[in-house]
Amino acid sequence: MGNASSTLTQYDIEEVQRHCNNLFSQQEIVSLYQRFCQLDRNAKGFISADEFLSVPEFAMNPLSQRLLKMVDGLNFKDFVAFLSAFSAKASLAQKVEVIFKVYDSDCNGKVTFNDMIQVLQDLAGSFMSDQQREEVLGQVLHEAGYTKESVLLLDDFIKVFDHANLKMEVEVPVD
Amino acid sequence: MSKLKSSSSELDLDRPNIEDYLPSGSIQEPHGKLCLRDLLDISPTLTEAAGAIVDDSFTRCFKSIPPEPWNWNIYLFPLWCMGVLVRYLVLFPLRVIVLTVGWIIFLSCYIPVHFLLKGHDKLRKKLERCLVELICSFFVASWTGVVKYHGPRPSIRPKQVFVANHTSMIDFIILEQMTAFAVIMQKHPGWVGLLQSTILESVGSIWFNRSEAKDREIVARRLREHIEGADNNPLLIFPEGTCVNNHYTVMFKKGAFELGCTVCPVAIKYNKVFVDAFWNSRKQSFTMHLLQLMTSWAVVCDVWYLEPQNLKPGETPIEFAERVRDIISVRAGLKKVPWDGYLKYSRPSPKHRERKQQGFAESVLRRLEEI
């Protein structure tokens, strides 16, 4: 088992850092690389869905399937870019963008009532009936000035989360 | 994408409530009127998932932590090279000789005893016990094993089992050189399997197959039968069910703790300065692992035989298992994690996800009523 940073040159680290807009320190990138190599069992250069699911904490997460679509097959640079939204230095807009992308499963830049129902379904499982879900969502949308036919864009999400205290940070263990 | 089956419902019963251990700080109890932001805010769940991607306590248990390389210096490097030469060209051949001599002595005594004394079972068993202890001592010598045993030696009595934490198959050999235990193990292929079916059979071992769900009942029955017999060798069980890296313990399976007998905990801790004895079965075959041990300086470890424990009144087997795990972990300086070792081979059951979903749904519906 080699020393991971010997396979990652200073140039590589700087390139990855630029790609994630300097949201991670160089040490954090080295740690993330070690983690990436640990999950990528046969050194293919990306982590397959199966390998993500071998982490029990991830497999148990209600949103794991949605996140898998976003992280499956990413190379290391994109992997770090994805995780950069969870860095302590990330801005509110960046965090909201990740949330938006989770909702926008067909990646067309629009989140419909149906998209939101489906996420609610993932989160609540069989403990909320279809009717309850539609009722709750319809109600809060109405109060926020939207309707069931409304299509939300990223800007709408940013408006909803305006001044929110979003706690969406992950600590990268640096040994 | 290959599909691993979800762990069978029987395995679910093995573990205590994971939620008690996992960070549940994300489940803050929000109150007040439910608004769009609350519903759209999936950040706690996302953070948990991202946190699991970045680091998780399960994978940590099976990570071989490599020692700091110390040979990077112009003065230290030649020293390290000399060390390599000594280890590979002097120690290794010597050890191979020791092991070969040991096998010759063992086989030349064991085969006659096994076949000629077929009628005299008591004597045969006694001799076979001594011989198995002998060959294990040869194995230990072949790695220059320095084992410090603490505590009273195990005695042969019915109605008792021994449980130990598991780092590698050599745990068994190290314990076996002191006392001829009967063991319950996964059947392995290759030369290890051959040894299992011949020599280990004679000390009274039990085999199981991880991938067979029905197997558990059969094995449980055989366990019970074994501990009833006054003449049988004491039974050694590794309740973790898999090899862990000697820094953590994973959850103990309750099988050993619901037999209605005394449980004697044994703690094993290896000194990593000399060699990392963790057998990462995903990365190495057992043969490679043994070769690695034989080309290292030494295998140094401590074995503690701890006070026998009984099921306390009102205690469930799972609580009993956790209590014994606690005793072993404290003694050997290991950290406890709430994961089932078998998650190495299968996915977590949907029950855990459902619990999270239930929590979320109830919270939303409750707040809806507050409006």
Q: What is the mean pLDDT of residues B315-320?
A: 91
Instruction: Compute the C-alpha angle A19/B63/A9, nearest 5°.
Output: 30
B87 touches chain A (CB under 8 A): no
pLDDT per position as a tens digit, A40-88: 888 888 999 999 999 999 999 999 999 999 999 899 999 999 999 999 8
Categorize the per-residue pLDDT at B221 as very low, low, confident or very high, splitting at 50, 70 and 90.
Answer: confident
Write down the pLDDT at residue B26. Answer: 45
Whole-number mean pLDDT of chain A? 88
Categorize the per-residue pLDDT at A119 as very low, low, confident or very high, splitting at 50, 70 and 90.
Answer: very high
The two tokens of residue B168 are 């590698």
Instruction: Compute the radius of gyration of chain B from its Cα atoms.
Output: 24
A49 touches chain B (CB under 8 A): yes
Task: List all residues 6 or more positions away from A42 whose beta carbon is below 8 Å from its beta carbon.
Answer: none
B45 touches chain A (CB under 8 A): yes
- Beta-carbon count within 10 A of B92 CB: 16
Residue B262 φ then ψ, to 5°: -75, 140
Distance from CA of A11 to the nearest CA of B (A): 22
pLDDT per position as a tens digit, B64-109: 777 667 767 788 888 888 888 999 999 999 999 999 999 999 989 8
- Out of A3, A62, A128, the one facing B69 most closely (by C-beta) is A3
Write down the pLDDT at residue A100. Answer: 92
Distance from CA of B114 to the nearest CA of A (A): 44
Cα(B7)–Cα(B211) distance, integer angstroms: 10
Cα(B200)–Cα(B185) distance, integer angstroms: 10
Instruction: Compute the C-alpha angle B85/B89/B94, nearest 5°.
Output: 135
Cα(B371)–Cα(B19) distance, integer angstroms: 30
Written as one string, the DSSP assignment of B320-337 is: HHHHHHHHHHHHHT-EEE
ipTM over 0.95: no
Cα(A47)–Cα(A50) distance, integer angstroms: 8
Closest among B197, B203, B154 to B178, alpha carbons compared: B154
Write down the pLDDT at residue A77. Answer: 92
B310 touches chain A (CB under 8 A): no
Write down the pLDDT at residue B40. Answer: 85
For A147, B78, B257, the CA distances from B164, given in Å and listed in that order, are: 62, 40, 13
- Out of B22, B38, B45, the one facing A62 most closely (by C-beta) is B45
Taking the domains of chain B in order of start, what are their residue ranges? Answer: 143-342
- Beta-carbon count within 10 A of B287 CB: 11
Burial of B47 per CB tally in 10 Å (0-12, 13-18, 19+)? buried
pLDDT per position as a tens digit, A89-106: 999 999 999 999 999 988
**Do A35 and B54 contact (CB within 8 A), yes or no?**
yes
Write down the pLDDT at residue B16. Answer: 53
Using an 8 Å CB-CB cutoff, list chain A residues near B44. 167
pLDDT value at B167 more than 50: yes
Query: When comparing pLDDT for B114 and B250, which is higher?
Result: B250
Cα(B104)–Cα(A118) distance, integer angstroms: 68
Q: SS3 for A147? A: coil
Sign of CA dihedral B78, B83, B89, B90: positive
pTM above 0.90, yes or no: no
Contact criterion met (CB < 8 Å) for B41 and A60: no
Instruction: Compute the C-alpha angle B203/B209/B213, nearest 5°.
Output: 135
The two tokens of residue B273 are 């300065």
Q: SS3 for B270? A: strand
Q: How many Cα atoms occupy the beta-carbon half-sphere of B99 within 13 Å?
A: 16
For B128, B158, B177, the CA distances from B199, given in Å and listed in that order, are: 9, 22, 14
Q: How many Cα atoms occupy the beta-carbon half-sphere of B100 within 13 Å?
A: 6
**Residue of A32, A39, A47, A57 best to disrupt the B interface, most CBs of B under 10 A:** A57
pLDDT per position as a tens digit, B255-285: 888 888 899 999 999 998 888 888 887 778 8
Write down the pLDDT at residue A17. Answer: 92
Rounding to the nearest 10 degrees, give the CA dihedral for residues B323, B324, B329, B331.
Answer: 110
Using an 8 Å CB-CB cutoff, list chain B residues near A73. none
- Beta-carbon count within 10 A of A154 CB: 17
Q: Count the helices and strands in chain B (H runs, E runs).
A: 14, 9
Q: What is the mean pLDDT of residues A140-162?
A: 88
- Residue B341 DSSP code: G
Write down the pLDDT at residue B17. Answer: 56
